[in-house]
């Protein structure tokens, strides 16, 4: 089947299972997930969705999120949008099958039990995370998530360019590659300003215009707080603050400026007031904060080393559960802007390694439970590439103790990389988003690329091994084993009773 036909088939399989085109209010995607706004959540058939071959899992948050994985989601989303548009033009969509109805390939009983537990935990987490502070963090994340594809593309080009420069190859091409890799980062403040204004309800282009002041070379001629400003001073944090201020000024103008003058006065006052505050206040303050973030990250890993890595790697999965991990996105972006890479992401990626190791241990500890083993086998490749939701919500979190032992694996993996940071071997990522094996093309550091890759690979191995051992020996109590280490297949047939080998039922 052609790739485009395959992607359209996936989109066509998903659409009726989310209630049809009439039930879809919005469509977006991030690195791994198709994010849908739905009118009626009850029309969604979760189990049938999970049985779609391309679907790795589902996550319910402020939107309904279908995990398709990196690359796949960017190809399926346009096909899904086309199907929704076509259905809207041709009339009402066909009614979806009733939720909970049987479907080919549906998970067996025990996997469904785990999925139900995972769904309940997700619902509880969603309710807990609906606090004003966490909703604010989610909005901050919405500003930066659309920038991730450009960060990844430019980061990989930067890595390739660095390799060619070190080898002395293609010297006539490397300056062009450097321009491609650096162009986006030089103007990232403008994109952050644009997205900030869009997220907070202002005019996006005005947010971008105010943020552009930060990177304009002419600010070098301006004195503020007794010193010359530098182009880019304040970085993405300054751009975020400047655009947020622009939104506030714009909304104030919309309320008080007469409609006849609005088109002239509102944009002018928005840029003027926000621009002056940015130049004579925000750039300096945000610059000091950005410098402090970089200094603290360096200090933390150079002095805390293994201990800091242990804590960061071990706590990242709980931070994800609490919705607090979104606060790290501006920090990662600031470090990339300052140093060329973020030293925090490779450490935090070890949480996924511990999760993979724990899942493999669950696979071996439940040899009789074919349904859970099938779930693990289908989700493991995505887990190795850094897409952890199917393993988290489908296996470890509902089981309880294996989630804790997965965090232990992440802690030891993070401690391993933190130790090398303390010894002077920094391991960083030139972009945010990918994790697991998918992070290899984005690795950078203060040593050779081979050393950086070896340290990161060593951290993954430590995370895998520790997560496996901790889960295998400490992840199951007698009650949990008694409940789940049993066959959940249908009752034995007469042939089985007479001693013939039992065959797995078709469609399970």
Strand ranges, E, within 135-287: 223-224, 227-228
CA distances (Å), origin 107, targets 49, 65, 394, 490: 11, 20, 11, 13
Task: Name the phi and psi angles at 26, rounded to 5.
Answer: -155, 155
Tokens of 370: 């074919």
Give the orientation angle of helix 235-256 with respect to helix 188-199, to 10 degrees. Answer: 40
52 SS3 class: coil
- Chain-centroid distance, C-alpha 469: 27
Long-range CB contacts (within 8 A, 24+) of 180-185: 180/154, 181/154, 181/155, 181/157, 182/154, 182/158, 183/154, 184/150, 184/151, 184/154, 185/154, 185/336, 185/337
Closest residue by Cα to residue 407 from 345, 471, 481, 323: 471
Closest residue by Cα to residue 422 from 308, 289, 277: 308
Contact status, residue 443 vs residue 159, Cβ threshold 8 Å: yes
Task: Name the phi and psi angles at 63, rounded to 5.
Answer: -125, 165
CA distances (Å), origin 338, targets 53, 148, 151: 42, 17, 14
Which residue of the set 30, 154, 253, 407 is catalytic?
30
d(CA 321, CA 299): 27
30 labelled catalytic: yes
24 SS3 class: strand
Residue 38 burial (10 A CB sphere; 0-12, 13-18, 19+): middle
Closest residue by Cα to residue 464 from 313, 343, 312: 313
Long-range CB contacts (within 8 A, 24+) of 252-255: none
Pairing of the two strands 64-67 and 57-60? antiparallel
**Active-site annotation, residues:** 30
């Amino acid at each position: 089947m052609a790739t485009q036909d395959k992607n359209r088939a996936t989109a066509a399989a998903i659409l009726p299972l989310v209630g049809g085109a009439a039930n879809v209010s919005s469509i977006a995607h991030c690195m791994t997930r198709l994010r849908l706004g739905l009118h009626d959540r009850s029309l969604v058939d979760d189990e049938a969705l999970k049985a779609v071959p391309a679907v790795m899992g589902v996550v319910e948050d402020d939107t309904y999120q279908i995990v398709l994985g990196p690359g796949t989601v960017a190809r399926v989303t346009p096909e899904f949008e086309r199907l929704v548009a076509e259905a809207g033009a041709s009339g009402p969509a066909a009614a979806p099958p009733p939720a909970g109805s049987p479907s080919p390939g549906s998970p067996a009983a025990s996997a469904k039990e785990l999925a139900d537990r995972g769904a309940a935990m997700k619902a509880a987490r969603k309710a807990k995370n609906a606090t004003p502070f966490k909703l604010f963090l989610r909005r901050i994340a919405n500003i930066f998530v659309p920038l991730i594809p450009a960060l990844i593309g430019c980061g990989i080009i930067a890595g390739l360019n660095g390799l060619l420069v070190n080898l002395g190859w293609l010297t006539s091409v490397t300056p062009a590659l450097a321009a491609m890799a650096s162009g986006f980062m030089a103007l990232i403040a403008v994109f952050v300003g644009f997205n900030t204004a869009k997220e907070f309800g202002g005019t996006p282009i005005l947010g971008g215009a105010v943020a552009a002041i930060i990177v304009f070379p002419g600010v070098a001629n301006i004195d503020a707080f007794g010193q010359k400003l530098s182009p880019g001073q304040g970085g993405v944090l300054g751009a975020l603050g400047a655009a947020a201020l622009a939104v506030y000024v714009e909304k104030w103008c919309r309320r008080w400026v007469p409609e006849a003058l609005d088109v002239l006065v509102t944009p002018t006052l928005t840029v003027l007031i926000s621009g002056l505050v940015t130049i004579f206040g925000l750039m300096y303050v945000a610059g000091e904060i950005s410098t402090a973030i970089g200094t603290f990250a360096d200090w933390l890993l150079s002095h805390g080393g293994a201990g800091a890595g242990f804590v960061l790697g071990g706590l990242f999965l709980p931070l994800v559960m609490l919705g607090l991990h979104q606060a790290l996105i501006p920090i990662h972006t600031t470090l990339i802007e300052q140093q060329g890479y973020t030293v925090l992401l490779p450490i935090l990626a070890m949480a996924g390694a511990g999760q993979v190791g724990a899942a493999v241990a669950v696979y071996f500890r439940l040899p009789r439970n074919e349904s859970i083993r099938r779930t693990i086998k289908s989700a493991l490749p995505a887990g190795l590439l850094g897409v952890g939701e199917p393993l988290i919500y489908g296996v470890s979190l509902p089981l309880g103790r294996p989630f804790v032992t997965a965090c232990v694996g992440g802690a030891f993996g993070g401690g391993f990389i933190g130790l090398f940071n303390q010894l002077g071997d920094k391991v960083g990522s030139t972009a945010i988003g990918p994790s697991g094996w998918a992070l290899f093309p984005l690795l950078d550091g203060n040593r050779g690329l081979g050393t950086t890759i070896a340290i990161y690979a060593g951290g993954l191995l430590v995370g895998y091994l520790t997560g496996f051992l901790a889960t295998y020996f400490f992840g199951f109590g007698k009650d949990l084993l008694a409940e789940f280490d049993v066959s959940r297949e249908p009752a034995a047939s007469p042939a089985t009773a007479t001693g013939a080998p039992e065959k797995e039922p078709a469609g399970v």
